[in-house]
Amino acid sequence: MFFRQLSVAALFGASLIPTAPDALGQPAGNEPGIEMESCELVVPGTPLSVAGQCGWMDVAENPDDPDGRRIGIHVARIPARGRETEPDPLVFFAGGPGQSATESWPILAGALNKVSENRDILLVDQRGTGQSNPLKCPQIELDEALALDWDELGRTTRECLDSLDGDPRYYTTTIAMHDIDAARAALGYEQVNLYGGSYGTRAAQVYLRLFPERVRSAVLDGVVPQTLALGTEHAEKLDQTIYRVLRNCDDDALCSNAFPDTAGKLSRLIQKLEQDPVTVTVEHPTTGQPFTLPFNREVLSTSLRFLTYSADTQAMLPLLINEAAESQRFDRLASQMLIAATGLQQSISQGMELSVMCAEDFPLFPKTPGTDGYLMGDMMHRAVGIQCGIWPRGRVPINFHEPVTGDLPVLLLSGELDPVTPPEYADQVAVNFPDSRHLIAPGQGHIATTRGCMGKIVSEFIIEGSADDLETDCISNMQATPFFISLTGPTP
């Protein structure tokens, strides 16, 4: 039961503690300027990197106690390349919660290369992530993680909490947005443009609510409505995407001929693994050594969940499900899960993730999840209930889950087959912004900006500060990745 990875890259559920909305997280006075020096921003475990300037900002861990403990906030700036620089930079809000802005930006940089020609890029590692006093749990071995039972999850959560150099109550989104605005002020920017992806869309909306006069435009990709206790619908939305992909296979002549009745096979596979789990041997994703793991319904759901995030891996679903059901081969499904989970384990600060989730979302979780009929069942609810029953909760403004509104230009993006923030979520948010436009990337999964021509459209929107005359015809040429009929790759 790979519970730490189950919660990665997703919000879960939230609640409000009655406190005045403007009483949390305000910085104590103006921050001094930030001394910047050359640095390289690297995506851990990959060759991706971007040159920039880095510096540090000293802030109070507890904003209500400015004379108490101080922490360092890591700030980076990528100066505009062109001769002329616009005064309003792009501020990037990373996902997770728990991912670092400075470590995630290089993944997005190519798609938004046009923006950085005449605009600075401002990156602030949200407190608890990256190099901003990261709240990272001790890494546990894969065999221990996969063997976790519910009692062990409580133990490892307490061990994580005891290991942290920080008070989790002060690592909420609201407090962190004051840090980001302090960095903006320290670097002398009057207005900024916002880009948030996944959880970063929540962070961007919180920043916009707190500092509306500072925002020129906003891009929200993989949109999280403020009103939603996200996580309560994870099981439903995962099934929604999986079965849509499998229906698309049924409608595809080559796929349906190669893999008939894949949905039925998946249903029977779920029942089999529920009653009779198997043992699978695969290569360890980092050491390459043979690695044995139990493969049960929970591991199956985790594997399929990771595969649904991208259109490229969604294209493998019928092949892998058929292989598991017909040939009793689970190794490739397990390998895909381990590769994805290992990468996420490296990129996520689990302590910060829990600090956000338990304070902002968990108190809104229903007592009865109503997820029995779904592939994931109540796994999320049980895991989050155990972890948030242990984790200290910070205060959250009473209006935290009210919709954010504004008359600024807002561009919302969705992948048609996003399993965690589907297009209907962006529709809910769009009604609160009269000057907004929602674009859906056909056949795509979670985060659309890096797919096809979407980066070009986003860049045009940021440069112009308007969605009125965007050239979007190219979206009609986007489509799902062709299904894999064999392991040699997708069909032509």
pTM: predicted TM-score of the whole model, two decimal places: 0.92
> How much is the pLDDT for 26?
44
**pLDDT above 60 (res 6):** no
Q: How far is CA 384 from CA 203, 301, 475, in A?
A: 21, 17, 38
pLDDT at 308: 95
Contact status, residue 327 vs residue 336, Cβ threshold 8 Å: no
Please tell me the predicted confidence (pLDDT) of residue 87.
98
Question: Which has the closest alpha carbon to 169: 84, 68, 263?
Answer: 68
| Tokens linked to 368 | 């009865």
Distance CA 332, CA 126 (A): 35
For 31-94, give the DSSP string. Answer: PPP---EEEEEE-TTSS-EEEEEEEEEEEESSTT-TTS-EEEEEEEEE---SSS--SSPEEEE-
Question: Which residues does 332 contact at the CB level (< 8 Å), separation at least 6?
Answer: 320, 323
How far is residue 297's CA from residue 458's CA, in Å, rounded to a whole number?
A: 39
DSSP for residue 428: H
Residue 415 in contact with residue 441, Cβ under 8 Å? Answer: yes
Measured distance CA(49)–CA(131) in Å, rounded: 16
Which residues in 88-207 belong to E strands, given as ranges?
A: 90-93, 121-124, 192-197
- What pLDDT shows up at residue 148? 56
* pLDDT given for residue 344 in this prediction: 67
Q: Are 447 and 216 in contact (CB under 8 A)?
A: no
Predicted local confidence at residue 460, as pLDDT: 98
In angstroms, rounded to a whole number, what is the distance separating the alpha carbons of residues 351 and 159?
Answer: 11
pLDDT score of 288 more than 50: yes
Which band of pLDDT confidence, cut at 50, 70 and 90, is reported for residue 33? confident
Cβ-based neighbours of 89, under 8 Å, separated by 6 or more: 77, 119, 120, 121, 122, 189, 192, 193
pLDDT of residue 290 exceeding 90, the answer is no
CATH topology of domain 16-229+399-477: Rossmann fold (3.40.50)
* Confidence (pLDDT) at 282: 86
Helices then strands, counting H and E runs in the chain, come out as 18, 13
Helix axes 297-307, 262-275, angle to 10 degrees: 140
Residue 111 pLDDT exceeds 90: yes
Cα–Cα distance between 167 and 44 in angstroms, integer?
26
- Confidence band (pLDDT; 50, 70, 90) for 463? very high
Tokens at 163, concatenated: 């290991």
Q: Measure the CA–CA gap between 212 and 443, rounded to whole angstroms.
A: 34
Name 439's bridge partners.
413
Average pLDDT (44-60) is 95
| DSSP assigned state of 403 | P
Q: What is the mean pLDDT of residues 351-355?
A: 96
d(CA 371, CA 376): 8
Residue 491 has pLDDT above 70, yes or no: no
CA distance readout (Å), 129 to 20, 95, 199, 254: 27, 11, 13, 45
User: Sign of torsion, CA 228 223 190 122?
Assistant: positive
**Tokens 């859906």, located at residue:** 440
Q: pLDDT value at position 335? A: 85
Encode pLDDT of 402-444 as tens digits. 999 999 999 999 999 999 999 999 999 999 999 999 999 999 9
Q: How confident is the prediction for the chain on average, in pLDDT? A: 89
- Does pLDDT of 18 surpass 70? no
How far is the CA of 460 from the CAs of 107, 195, 232, in angstroms? 19, 13, 35
Mean pLDDT of 350-362: 96
Percent of the chain as helix, strand, coil, to the nearest 5: 40, 15, 45
Q: What is the mean pLDDT of residues 293-320?
A: 92
Q: How far apart are CA 237 and CA 223, in angstroms?
A: 14
Please state, as a whole number, how many other Cβ atoms lie within 10 Å of the Cβ of residue 79: 15
Q: Which residues contact 413 (CB under 8 A, 6 or more apart)?
A: 219, 220, 221, 222, 223, 426, 438, 439, 440, 441, 448, 449, 454, 458
pLDDT tens track for 130-162: 999 999 998 766 656 665 577 889 999 999 999
- The fraction of the chain above a pLDDT of 70, given in percent, is 90
CA distance 24 to 463: 33
**Count of other CB atoms within 10 angstroms of residue 139:** 12
Pull the structure tokens for residue 194. Answer: 């916002």
Point out which residues pair with 268 in neighbouring strands.
Answer: none
